[in-house]
């Protein structure tokens, strides 16, 4: 994709601070990190998101994500990290190229990711679960 920021980074048209590269996947530090060591992991082949990516590429990409997450944890001496993949504008995706955020977590970093919302009833939760189950591909 000619106008995709990540495709330009992968093609070395835009500089980045790489932490990993192979024939299929590129990983680099986010220029606007949530925390120091925030890494983005992208497949080199353009796809807009998780649902548009070839399943075999997803396997390859996921193995690299795991390897980099382990390296972030060990290399930075953190005891945890958040793994995030935003799918669609409403979910916060700003670059339409599949990518994972690996965000190291530091004690007292002040980040809060979860709300205290609850389902109104067990019936509401069951209705939502059924809608999801009915669309699973097996």
Confirm if 45 and 51 have CB atoms less than 8 A apart: no
Q: Which residues are catalytic?
A: 99
Cα 37 to chain centroid distance, Å, stands at 14
Confirm if 18 and 28 have CB atoms less than 8 A apart: yes
Q: Which residues pair with 77 in a beta bridge?
A: none
């Amino acid at each position: 994709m000619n106008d995709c920021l990540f495709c330009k980074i992968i093609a070395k048209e835009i500089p980045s601070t790489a932490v990993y590269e192979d024939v299929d996947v590129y990983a680099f530090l986010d220029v606007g990190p949530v925390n120091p060591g925030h890494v983005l992991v992208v497949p080199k082949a353009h796809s807009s998101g998780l649902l548009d990516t070839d399943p075999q590429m997803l396997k390859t990409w996921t193995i690299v994500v795991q390897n980099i997450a382990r390296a972030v944890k060990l290399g930075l001496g953190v005891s945890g990290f958040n793994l995030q993949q935003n799918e669609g504008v409403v979910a916060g995706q700003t670059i339409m190229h599949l990518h994972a955020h690996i965000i190291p977590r530091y004690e007292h970093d002040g980040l809060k990711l979860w709300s205290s919302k609850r389902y109104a009833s067990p019936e509401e939760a069951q209705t939502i679960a059924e809608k999801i189950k009915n669309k699973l591909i097996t």
